Structure 1
Amino acid sequence: MGLTIRNVSKKYANGVQALNNVTLDIPPGMYGLLGPNGAGKSTLMRTLATLQEPDGGQIFLGDIDVVSQKEAVRQTLGYLPQEFGVYPKASAEELLDYFAVLKGITNRALRKATTEALLKQTNLWDKRKQKLGGFSGGMKQRFGVAVALLGNPRLLIVDEPTAGLDPAERVRFLNLLSELGENSVVILSTHIVEDVSELCTNMAIINRGQILLEAQPLEAVASLNGRIWRTLTDKSNLPALQQEHQIISAKLLSGRTLVHVYSLDMPGNGFEPVEPDLQDVYFSALTGCFGPASAQPIVERIAL
């Protein structure tokens, strides 16, 4: 059972066009929705989670109409928003039990077995008696996944789940997510390229409410073979390079600037070919090499 999104649009009262005719086919498994902050990711996630109405378009989860059959969707939905609150004086075990009741698991024995299994799955069993107010950011995120998994959802949405996590917690969290995409549609919304490259078999890149690219990450990377070139230069040379080449990214490296350029042919002296990765795919899409050009060159948004 997959998720079908057709021509979904959303414009807010302040005039911001958050979604503009978004069309996606999302199969079961881990699906990455990648884009910068403000791209429309959270708007799409809230719409899929039935928290807001689209202005137009259709969304189907299997044969369930997400827009008109909200209660049916909510019965099989797990949602971990970008920010969520907890009762700091409640223990993980107590609060998860409470959420299980709200989810409709009223049988005490079944509820106990369910909460125990989820706390173990999220590696929180040893911390089950600890107050949530003392949890680290990563532990809270894992608790959020436990809540989202109540009821064995067929659609699981996680919105910017690794933002703010330290490297060790991020690895634990990604390992957990990687186990969840076998029987459900799991949508990972993020601006962190590495999250998608490590987890997702399918993905889309969104910016300014438009889908720039929908692909399998490995195939998207392969499509850039022979088209990404790099040079190490001084920052003062960037304006001239921007006039002559399609720069997709630039970053500091040992006091100089490492520039990646998209080109079908050798851009000129001083450039060398580089094996592309998903970050090159992402920046290429944002600068118009894939699909419509809907962003300024990414070099202008790198801290140089």
Structure 2
Amino acid sequence: MNLTISNVSKTYPNGVRALQGISLTVPAGLYGLLGPNGAGKSTLMRILATLQEPDEGSIQLAGLDVLGQKEKVRETLGYLPQEFGVYPKAKAEDLLDYFAVLKGITQRAARREVVEALLRQTNLWDVRRQQLGGFSGGMKQRFGVAVALLGNPKLLIVDEPTAGLDPAERVRFLNLLSELGENSVVILSTHIVEDVAELCTNMAIINQGQILLEAEPLRAIERIRGKVWRSVVEKSALPALAQVHAIISTRLLGGRTVVRVYGEAAPGAGFEAVPPDLEDVYFTTMAGHYHPTSAQEGGAATS
């Protein structure tokens, strides 16, 4: 089962070109859509969730025309937006039961079984009688996943799900997402590289409404092995270094700056080769230094 996005574009009335001819093939499993804020991720997610119309393009999901058969798509869609509200005085079990009715699960016994299963799956069973207003951010996100999973969706969309979560809740949430991609297409839209690195077997990098790279994370990382170099330098040396080398990223360490550089050979004395990671792939792609050559790496990267 694939989700096929073909030449989807969207320009807002104020002239902002949110999407520019987006084409992606998303297989079953966890798929990461990675990009900075304002890259067009949320616009694409809303279009996939049938909440917004593109100006042009087509989308197919397991034989369904997503743009032309919205009601059919909604029957098999789960959507966790970046921000969503809950009734603070409602109990988790009661509100999930209410949403189950809206989803069409009208038989009481069947609904009770589904609600219990989802609350257990999202690790909320023990707090099912608590009011949602007292839930932590991570607990609310997990409740949102429970709502999104009603009806066993074939397409599950989660938009920036870990933003604002503390480290412990983030781990719980990512563990939950990792269980969901066995029988569905799960799209994880995020600007957090670690989320994609830890979860996704396929990904795309998007910026300014365009796909820069479509790849398997591990293959993309392997493509730059031997081309990432690290050194500790004085901050004052960075401008001169940036004039002649492709700087990937900089970090402070003990008052000094750790710099990672992309290049075929060592940039100079004091640099050592280091194993690359997905963050290196992300920054080299955003800077236009990553040049995929195989079909699997979807040569949409910039030059």
Instruction: Please tell me the TM-score bracket, short chain as reference.
Output: over 0.9
Letter in 2 for 1:122: T
Q: Offset of 1:74 from its aligned partner? A: 0.4
Q: CA deviation at 1:216?
A: 0.5
Cα deviation 1:118-144 (Å, max 9, x = unaligned): 000000000000000000000000000
Q: Distance in 2 between matches of 1:156 and 1:56?
A: 23
Query: How far is 1:176 from its partner?
Result: 0.4
Give the C-alpha shift of residue 32 in structure 1.
0.5
Aligned amino acid, residue 136 of structure 1: S
Tell me which amino acid in the other structure corresponds to 1:21.
G
For residues 261-276 of structure 1, what are the structure 2 equivalents within 5 Å? 261-276=261-276
Q: In the alignment, what sits opposite 1:292?
A: 302
Partner of 2:55: 55
Distance 1:190 1:107 in 2: 37
| TM-score where L is the length of structure 1 | 0.95
How far the C-alpha of 1:62 sits from its partner, in A, is 1.4
Report percent identity of matched pairs: 73
For 1:60 and 1:37, the matched residues in 2 are separated by 26
Matched, 1:16 2:16: yes
1:18-71 superposed Cα distances (whole Å, 9 cap, x missing partner): 111111000000000011111111111001001100111111111111111111
Partner of 1:298: none
- Name the SS for the 2:19 alignment partner: strand
Whether 1:258 aligns to 2:258 is yes
Superposed, 1:169-248 pairs within 5 Å as 169-248=169-248
- Say which is worse superposed, 243-252 or 27-36, in terms of deviation: 243-252
Q: CA deviation at 1:260?
A: 1.1
Letter paired with 1:111: R
Alignment correspondent of 2:120:
120
Q: Deviations over 1:192-211 (max 9, x none)?
A: 11111111100011111111
Give the counterpart letter for 1:28 in structure 2: A
Which range moves more in the overlay, 47-56 or 254-263? 254-263
2:145 is aligned with 1:139: no
Cα distance in 2 for partners of 1:222, 1:282 equals: 13
* Structure 2 unaligned blocks of 5 or more: 291-300
**Bigger shift: 58-67 or 136-145?**
58-67
Q: Structure 2 length as normaliser, TM-score?
A: 0.95
Letter in 1 for 2:302: P
Shift of 1:270: 2.1
Offset, 1:230: 1.3
Secondary structure at the aligned position of 1:93 is classed as helix
Structure 1 CA distance for aligned equivalents of residues 252 and 55 of structure 2: 42
Deviations 1:167-203 (A, max 9, x none): 0000000000000000000000011111111111000
For residues 192 and 254 of structure 1, what CA distance do their matches in structure 2 show?
25
Residue 171 of structure 1 aligns to a residue whose secondary structure is helix
Q: Which residue of 2 aligns with 1:300?
A: none
SS at match of 1:24: strand
Partner Cα separation in structure 1 for residue 10 and residue 261 of structure 2: 34
Q: How far apart in 2 are the matches of 1:257 and 1:44? A: 37
Report the residue type matching 2:227 in the other structure.
Answer: R
Report the alpha carbon displacement of residue 146 of structure 1 after superposing the two structures with TM. Answer: 0.1
Give the number of aligned pairs: 293
Shift of 1:292: 1.3
1:301 paired residue number: none
Question: Which residue is 1:297 aligned to?
Answer: none
- Alpha-carbon shift at residue 15 of structure 1 (Å): 1.1
Counterpart amino acid of residue 237 in structure 1: A
Where do 4+ consecutive residues of structure 1 move more than 3 Å? none
**Distance across 2 between alignment mates of 1:284 and 1:32:** 17
Q: Distance in 1 between matches of 2:108 and 2:223?
A: 53
Long gaps (5+) in structure 1:
294-304
Aligned partner of 2:75 in structure 1 is 75
Paired residue secondary structure (2:258): strand
